[in-house]
Amino acid sequence: MKILVTGAAGFIGSALVRALSARHPQAHVVGFDIVPPDAPHVIVGDIADPQVAASLVDRDTTHVYHLASLVSGGAEADFERGTRINLDATRGLLEAARRHGCAPIFVFASSIAVYGGDLPETITDATPPLPRLSYGAQKLVCEVLINDYTRRGFIDGRALRLPTIMVRPGAANTAVSGWASAIIREPLAGRDYACPVGPHTGMACLSLKRTVEAFVHAAALPTAAFGSDRTTLLTGISVTAQEMIDAVQRAGAGRKLGVVQFKPDARMQAIMDKVPQATRSERAARLGFTSSASIGEIVADYMATLK
Please indicate, yes or no, whether residues 228 and 240 belong to a single structural domain of this protein: no
Residues serving a catalytic function are 135
Q: How many folded domains does the chain comprise?
A: 2
Short-list 225, 215, 213, 290, CA closest to 65: 215
The CATH number covering residue 243 comes to 3.90.25.10
> Is 285 part of any domain?
no
Task: Please tell me the distance from the alpha carbon of residue 185 to that of residue 245, in angstroms, as a whole number.
Answer: 10
Q: What share of residues in the chain are helix, strand, coil (percent, to 5)? A: 40, 20, 35
Please provide the DSSP assignment of 158-220 as one string. EEEEE-EEE---SS--S-TTHHHHHHHHHHHTT--EEESS-TT-EEEEEEHHHHHHHHHHHHH
Please indicate, yes or no, whether residues 142 and 200 belong to a single structural domain of this protein: no
Three-state DSSP state, 34: coil
> Is 287 part of any domain?
no
Per-residue pLDDT averaged across 110-133, rounded?
94
> Is 284 part of any domain?
no
> Is 226 part of any domain?
yes
Confidence of residue 171 (pLDDT cuts 50, 70, 90): low
Please indicate, yes or no, whether residues 170 and 191 belong to a single structural domain of this protein: yes
The pLDDT of residue 196 is above 70: yes
> Is 177 part of any domain?
yes
Cis previous bond, 107, omega within 30: no
Please indicate, yes or no, whether residues 144 and 6 belong to a single structural domain of this protein: yes
Please indicate, yes or no, whether residues 77 and 155 belong to a single structural domain of this protein: yes
- What is the b/e burial string over 144-165, where b = at least 16 CB atoms within 10 angstroms of the residue's CB? ebbbebbeeebbbbbbbbbbbb
Three-state DSSP state, 277: coil
> Is 8 part of any domain?
yes
The CATH number covering residue 56 comes to 3.40.50.720
Residue 47, pLDDT score: 93
The chain-wide mean pLDDT, for the chain, equals: 93
In percent, the amount of the chain with pLDDT more than 70 equals: 98
Beta strands per DSSP E along 226-288: 231-233, 237-240, 260-262, 278-280
> Is 288 part of any domain?
no
Please indicate, yes or no, whether residues 100 and 187 belong to a single structural domain of this protein: no
pLDDT, tens digit, 9 for 90 and up, residues 31-57: 999 987 777 778 899 999 999 988 999
- Which domain range does residue 171 map to? 165-204+236-277+293-305
Contact (Cβ atoms closer than 8 angstroms) between residue 81 and residue 48? yes
Task: Please tell me the distance from the alpha carbon of residue 248 to that of residue 189, in angstroms, as a whole number.
Answer: 11
User: How far, CA to CA in Å, does 209 sit from each of 15, 144, 204?
Assistant: 8, 27, 16
Please indicate, yes or no, whether residues 108 and 186 belong to a single structural domain of this protein: no
Please indicate, yes or no, whether residues 253 and 136 belong to a single structural domain of this protein: no
The pLDDT of residue 183 is above 60: yes
The pLDDT of residue 175 is above 70: no
> Is 283 part of any domain?
no
Task: Please tell me the distance from the alpha carbon of residue 43 to that of residue 35, in angstroms, as a whole number.
Answer: 9
Please indicate, yes or no, whether residues 132 and 178 belong to a single structural domain of this protein: no
Please indicate, yes or no, whether residues 222 and 243 belong to a single structural domain of this protein: no
pLDDT, tens digit, 9 for 90 and up, residues 86-117: 999 999 999 999 999 999 999 999 999 999 88
Task: Please tell me the distance from the alpha carbon of residue 104 to that of residue 124, in angstroms, as a whole number.
Answer: 29
Please indicate, yes or no, whether residues 143 and 42 belong to a single structural domain of this protein: yes
Please indicate, yes or no, whether residues 198 and 216 belong to a single structural domain of this protein: no
Phi, psi of 218, rounded to the nearest 5 degrees = -60, -40
Residue 306, pLDDT score: 87
pLDDT, tens digit, 9 for 90 and up, residues 141-161: 999 999 999 999 999 999 999
Length of the chain: 307
